[in-house]
Amino acid sequence: MSRRVVALATATLACLGALAVSAAPAQAAPAQATRSLGTLEIVYSPLSLGEYCVAKVNSSSTVGFYEYGSVACYRWGSNGNIVRAGSGTPQSACTYFHPTYTYVGYAEGGSKALICKFSV
C-alpha cells in the first residue's frame, strides 16, 4: 500500500512539474506567434488547450495535450491523478481560438503543445 502511495505521489509531482514548466510561457502570454512567408504560426500550451477543452469537449477538463493527431483533454480524478475527459480535433481547437483567421494546418510543438497555422 505504501508503495502505491509513494508511486502516486511521485507521478503526481512529476505531472505537476511538467505542467508548471509548460505553464510558464502560457502565463506570460497565452500563445507565441511567428510569421513567415504569409503563414502565421501560433503555439498553444497544454494550459491554453485546457481552455478549449473546457469550452468544447468537457467542462471538467483542466488541461489538453496534442497527442497523435488530436487534442486529448484531461481532468483531475478523485484520487489525484489525471483522467482523460475526451478529445477534439486540432482544426477545431485552432478555429476556436481564432474563428476569423484562415486555417491552414497544424503541427506538434514542444511539451505536447499545438501549433496552429493560419494564412495572412
Model confidence pLDDT, tens digit, residues 30-86: 566 766 668 999 999 999 999 999 999 999 999 999 999 999 999 999 999 999 999
Structure confidence at residue 30 (pLDDT): 53
Q: Mean of the per-residue pLDDT values for the chain?
A: 81
Q: Quick check: 112 pLDDT over 80?
A: yes
112-116: average pLDDT: 97
Q: Quote the pLDDT of residue 15.
A: 45
Higher pLDDT, 88 or 12: 88
Calpha distance 99→106 (Å, rounded): 15
For 12-25, b/e burial (b = at least 16 CB within 10 A) is eeebeeebeebbeb
C-alpha cell at 3: 508503495
Higher pLDDT, 97 or 13: 97
Task: Name which of 18, 29, 27, 50 is nearest 114 in CA terms.
Answer: 50
pLDDT of 18: 45
Q: What are residue 87's DSSP bridge partners?
A: 72
